[in-house]
Structure formats: structure tokens, C-alpha cells
Amino acid sequence: MIGFLRGVLREKQPPGLLLEVQGVGYEVNAPMTTFYDLPAVGETITLFTHLAVREDAHTLYGFSKLSDRTLFRTLIKVNGVGAKMALTILSGMDAGVFAACVQAGDTASLVKLPGVGKKTAERLVVEMRDRLADWDTGGATTGPASSAPPDVANPVEEAVSALVALGYKPQDASRMVRAVETRELATEDIIRTALQATVQN
């Protein structure tokens, strides 16, 4: 099992990034909460990782915070929640906000995430309430993850592509981005604002 990787960030295109570690390039999938924390390409970063092994693929997932990886591993143990949905959940709200939603039984906020229907939201609350009972939410209530992202090229197109990769339908992703004042915003800013509007509406 690969516990963490420390290396040079070579590429970043949500939800994927390329990390060079001693001459080897690792392709890693990461939630937007991690992308918000990433420095510029060429900088050294450390990611806590989870390796998912299937017959047809070995996929690495990376997280800037250990708590995010812990929640990811807890999520994929829930019936009907796979790695892709867990990544989407962590992209739409950070660990503290998600824990606050579960502790409060706030299924209304959870169903606003792509791929999370009413039954799945209810299952998340029921199955994870005990597991997250002692989770430190940091005073979080509901809402999306936040932080400041670096600059990237073609932010509007990149934002739409990233939202589609996170599970939104192409037309919905385009609509969400169009609703954002994108001038002078980086990709992660656009995604963060679009996700925030979706969760709050």
C-alpha cells in the first residue's frame, strides 16, 4: 500500500494530476478540496494516498489532508458509494462540512451533490452517523469547500470539463459555469463558486 507521495507537481487538470517522484510520474485523482490547496506546477507537494485495486485498473487517489483520506476510506465502505462518488462528495464539500451534514441528518444538502439521490443521502446519514459522531467539524454547518487556487490556462473550459469528470451532466456543468462571473478567475475559483452556488440553492 502506498501511504503518501512527495514529489514535484508536473500537471494538474481536475480531477487528475501528475506527480513526479524520483523520476517516476504518478497519475493521481484528487478531490477539489485538494486542488484548492495545490501550489503552482513545478513545486514540491506531499499527498496522502489511497490505492484502489480492481481487475481492470489500479487507481491512486491523493489528498492534501489526512482527514480527507480518512473520510474517503470511510465513504467507500458505505453500500452503493464507490470511489468516484466519494471523490465527488469531497469535491462538493470538505470533510468538516460533510460530517456536520451527517451529524445533523441534513440530507437536503447531500442530495445537491451529483450522483447522490435521496436514498443514497439517507443511507450516508444512517451508516455514517456513528462513524462520524466524534468527528471535529470545526464549527462547520453546510456549504462547499473553500480555499484559494493558483492560475491555470483556459479556466472556463477546464472548469466545465472538471465538473463533468466529477459527475455532472455536460449541460448542467455548462449552466453552472455560465452562472459564474468568470472574468479573471482561475479554474479552481470557477469550480468552487459553481459548487458553492449549487449547494446553497
Q: Which helix (H) or strand (E) element contains residue 132?
A: none
Q: What is the pLDDT along the chain (201 residues), one digit of tens a residue?
A: 789 999 999 999 888 999 999 999 999 999 988 988 899 999 999 999 999 888 888 899 999 999 899 999 999 988 888 888 899 888 888 788 888 888 888 888 888 887 788 888 898 988 888 888 778 766 555 444 443 333 334 678 788 878 777 777 777 878 888 888 777 788 878 888 888 776 665
The SS3 assignment for 41 reads: coil
pTM above 0.85, yes or no: no
- Amino acid sitting at position 138: G
pLDDT (tens digit, 9 = 90+) per residue, 76-107?
988 888 888 899 888 888 788 888 888 888 88
Q: Is 19 exposed, middle or buried (0-12, 13-18, 19+ CB in 10 A)?
A: buried
User: 58-63 and 24-29 as β-strands: parallel, antiparallel, unpaired?
Assistant: parallel
Domains present along the chain, CATH in parentheses: 4-63 (2.40.50.140), 67-128 (1.10.150.20), 155-200 (1.10.8.10)
Mark 159-177 as b/e (b = at least 16 C-beta within 10 Å): bbbbbbbbbbeeebbbebb
